[in-house]
Structure 1
C-alpha cells in the first residue's frame, strides 16, 4: 500500500513535466496576424477584427478562428462557431474597415 501511494504521488508530481500529447498547442503569439474579439449584445454573437492589409481569408483564418474558439470554449464549454458566409464565394464573409478585416460568428455550443 505504501508503495502504491509513493507511485501515485511521484506520478502526479511529474504530470507537469511531460509535454502534452500532440505538442504544446497553439498560442496567439504563434499566429501570423493579431486579432481581437468583441462580443455582441447577445453574448453568443461575436466579431473578430484582424489587421491584415491585403490579406485573404485563407491567410488570416487561423488567427481569426483562434480568438473565436477561445471565447466560445471558455464561455460556453464548446469551441464550435457558426461563421457568416459570403454567398458569392462560399467562404467566411468579412467587411474591410480600413486595413482591418472584420468577421462575424456565433457560438453554437449549448
Structure 2
C-alpha cells in the first residue's frame, strides 16, 4: 500500500513538472519569462519582471503587467493595481537592466 502511494506521488510530481506549450501565454506573439516577488511586510506590494526585453519591448511590458495582474487577482480577487514603476512609462523611463524589465506595483484594496 505504501509502495503504491509512493509511486502515485512520484507520477503526479512528474506530471506537475510538465508544461503544455499550447497553454503558454504569449505576448506580442512571443514567450517571455516572468517572475513576481511580493514584499515580506506588505504582500500587496510587489515587484514583477519580464525577459528578454530584446525580443519585444511591448511584449515585455505586457508580460510584466500580466505577472502583477495575475498575482493581485489570485491573492485579492481584483485586478486593479497602483503602479509605482508602471509598464506604461515612456521607454526611456523604464527600468531595464541586462535585458530584464522590472516594474513595481501595489494591489488595490
Provide structure 1 residue ranges, at least 5 long, that are not aligned to the other structure. 1-26
CA RMSD of aligned residues (A): 2.3
Would you say how many aligned residue pairs link Structure 1 and Structure 2?
A: 78
Give the match's secondary structure for 1:79.
Answer: coil
Q: Rg bigger for which structure?
A: 1
CA distance in 1, matches of 2:74, 2:62: 18
CA distance in 2, matches of 1:75, 1:85: 20
CA contact (8 A) 1:94 1:104 kept: no
Residue deviations 1:7-36, cap 9 Å, x none? xxxxxxxxxxxxxxxxxxxx6x12231211
Q: Which structure carries more helix by proportion?
A: 2
Alignment correspondent of 1:30: 25
Moved over 3 A (4+): none
Q: 1:50 to 1:74 in 2, by over 3 A?
A: same
Alignment correspondent of 1:43: 43
CA distance in 1, matches of 2:39, 2:46: 5
CA contact (8 A) 2:64 2:101 kept: no
TM (norm. structure 2) is 0.59
